[in-house]
Amino acid sequence: MGNIMIGKKAGFCFGVERALEIALASRSHHRQPVYILGPLIHNPRVIADLESRGIKTISALEEAESGGILLIRSHGAGPQIFMDAEERGLKVIDATCPFVKQEQKLAQGLRRDGYQVVVVGDPLHPEVQAVVDTVDGEAIVVNPSAPEEVHRGSIKAKLGLVCQTTLSQQQLALVVNLLLPLTKELKVFNTICHATRERQTEAADLAQKVDILLVIGGKNSANTRKLVEIGSSFTPTYHIESKAEINPKWLEDKRIVGVSAGASTPQDQIDEVASWLEQYYNIIQEV
């Protein structure tokens, strides 16, 4: 029998925990319907639990009844969403992660100071879309997965850069190095969340100590996918949402199993996976 090594940083980050607390408090303190525009966090089980408590996820403001409560999720939203919600008679409660809110304010400041705003991140990610919306769409989005696609003719002499909070340092550095020769001035704000940095560093360290790494989190979670990518550089790594997805064949001849988890993964999901692994492994060791 071998060991299970569980990352100490695995699980909810501050922003996610805060958003959930705000959501649950909104439900308990108000009789009106409570809505969230888009998933509060990228974890299907958590979203299902919120639905069971009467907190409904909607995809458009038109789905919300006037007089209800609208929660702005941890990824944030642009100012037009706030205005449209109030016009529809909704009370808005902002659960945007403070680190995302800071990213938005920095982007707005860069724009005011005459910089062309660059947002490094997945153009389809709600956080990135919200940051772009806060500067009225006047931003260039550079996808770190395809940075070479940036239209060089659109680059101006003064660039101001912020980045998606769940990027890796390597992704940010790649884009910065690409942009430097294209402009006269590049002002960079490293808005990668410290919790993201810690998790990624831990995942890399853990992956080098184990024979297999299981990363728990929603399949639509950007930060979880990044942990999988990092782990895969060192050892066989599998992205799972629950213990039901574990294939026992993965564990054959594996003495040490590592467990990490994304920022949207609750502790009970981590505990379930650890309990399942105890069928094959005796020791749980946090690293």
List the catalytic residues: 127
Q: Six-digit token pair at 40? A: 């509060």
CA distances from 128 to 32, 51, 107, 124, 174 (A): 30, 26, 11, 7, 18
How many other CB atoms sit within 10 Å of the CB of residue 265?
29
Nearby residues of 257 by Cβ (< 8 Å), 6 or more positions away: 2, 3, 4, 5, 210, 211, 212, 213, 214, 251, 277, 281
Handedness of CA 201, 203, 206, 207 (dihedral sign): negative
Q: What is d(CA 281, CA 275) in angstroms, rounded to the nearest whole number?
A: 10
Q: Are 16 and 74 in contact (CB under 8 A)?
A: yes
